[in-house]
Amino acid sequence: MKKILVTGALGQIGSELTMNLREKYGNDNVIASGLNKKESKVIETGPFEIVDVTNAQQIADIVKKHKVDWIINLAAILSAVGENKPTLAWNVNMGGLFNILEVAREENLGVFTPSSIAAFGPSTPKDETPQDTIQRPNTMYGVTKVSGEILCDYYYEKYGVDTRGVRFPGLISHETLPGGGTTDYAVHIYYEALKNGEFTCPLKKGTKMDMMYMPDAINAIVDLLEADPSKLKHRNAFNVTAMSFDPEEIYREIKKRMPEFKMDYNVKPELQKIADSWPNSLDDTQAKKQWDWNPRYDLSAMTDDMLEKLRKKLDIK
């Protein structure tokens, strides 16, 4: 039975992943952790510890206390916040990852760390971006993501630490709001459609980016964790995607179901610059070949589910 420590467990991914892993492996086998406590199902349903990933001793103490054998490292500063606070982004994303890899080396643990479409940059081929290609990102978040991929590969090759990761696109979910990224608009648009019937988009028409609905993202993590290591030619990190759209396409999809919905634009140049440096669409053939990656939700199925779940959550008829 795996004992898993999840860092950053109260964030957008962690709040859903922790619940999913607890159902699968048992509540006591999934130790959630975060910077602070706050009201959350994650804290109510199983062990929770305060862990700041920039504090190596704190990580080591909790790993030993709970006899952890896998760390899923979700503690991070995302792209938009990272551009405003680059030192914090470096310290958390790289310093935190280094601390986790060191504990993993000493205690013989596996480590899962998500990378991102942000690990690519303006000189990367934009369409059907290959698994192995040019990675010269021009954001601090992207710099930490590509450096993190390389560091995780280094720990696997030099010390045999079982490191695995995926390059997530923008993730869309209804449980916990996103933490300050460039793709956040694709979550906020659903909330605003239901609450106010209108949305002001911070990115311009034609800005295509890869996206994925959270249930597929959770499956990607679980499937890669359970994948046969002898079949993995890549490790850090696999391209995964489920759909690619621009603001007009998601707007039209919502409008089909809510004909009164309106959208206008107020482009934020700092966000637009980040979005323009990322791919339009990823090629995820290697994830499909090596560990049977297979997303279930396209834009239409996601929109049906998001609107249904958010109507209930926001108590809107």
- 175 burial (CB, 10 Å; 0-12 / 13-18 / 19+) is middle
**Residue 147 binds ligand SER (CB under 6 A):** no
Please state, in angstroms and rounded to a whole number, the distance separating the CA atoms of residues 175 and 173.
Answer: 6
**Contact region for ligand NAD (CB under 6 A) — 150-158, 168-176, 190-198, 279-287?**
168-176
Among 15, 93, 99, 116, binds ligand SER (CB under 6 A): 116
Among 153, 170, 171, CA closest to 162: 153
Q: Is 72 in the site for ligand NAD (CB under 6 A)?
A: no
Compose the 233-262 pattern: x for residues touching ligand NAD by CB under 6 A, - for all others. Answer: ------------------------------
Contact 220, 237 (CB under 8 A): no
Q: Which is nearer to ligand NAD, 161 or 172 (CB)?
A: 172
Using CA atoms in the order 287, 290, 292, 298, what is the torsion angle rounded to 10 degrees?
10
Using DSSP bridges, classify how beta strands 209-213 and 243-245 pair: parallel, antiparallel or unpaired. antiparallel
Q: Give yes or no: 141 in active site.
A: yes
Question: Judged by CB, which is closer to ligand NAD: 21, or 171?
Answer: 171
Phi, psi values for residue 213, rounded to 5°? -80, 145
Return the one option of ligand SER, ligand NAD, none that residue 221 interacts with (CB less than 5 to 8 A, by type).
Answer: none
> Can you tell me the distance from the alpha carbon of 225 to that of 171, in angstroms, rounded to the nearest whole number?
19
Applying CB under 6 A, among 79, 113, 129, 244 the residue interacting with ligand SER is 79
Interface pick for ligand NAD out of 4, 5, 6, 10 (rule CB under 6 A): 10
Exposure string for 87-102, b = 16+ CB within 10 A, e = fewer: eebbebbbbbbbbbbb
Tokens of 270: 């700092």
- Quick one: which segment of 73-81, 126-134, 233-241, 294-302 binds ligand NAD (CB under 6 A)? 73-81
- Minimum Å distance from CB 197 to ligand NAD? 25
Residue in 11, 96, 165, 181 binding ligand SER, rule: CB under 6 A: 181
Per CB under 6 A, contacts with ligand NAD among 91-150 are 92, 96, 114, 116
DSSP per position, 88-151: HHHIIIIIHHHHHHHHHHHHT-EEE--EEGGG--TTS--SSB-SS------SHHHHHHHHHHHH
Residue selected from 78, 140, 189, 224 as contacting ligand SER according to rule CB under 6 A: 78
294 φ/ψ angles, rounded to the nearest 5 degrees: -155, 90
Closest distance of CB 197 from ligand SER, Å: 26
Fill in the DSSP letter of residue 198. E
The partner in contact with residue 182, picked from ligand NAD, ligand SER, none with C-beta cut-offs of 5 to 8 angstroms by kind, is: ligand SER
Judged by CB under 6 A, the chain residues 124 through 143 that form the site for ligand SER are 141
Active site residues: 141
> Applying CB under 6 A, which residues contact ligand NAD?
7-8, 10-14, 34-35, 51-54, 74-76, 78, 92, 96, 114, 116, 168, 170-171, 178-179, 181, 183
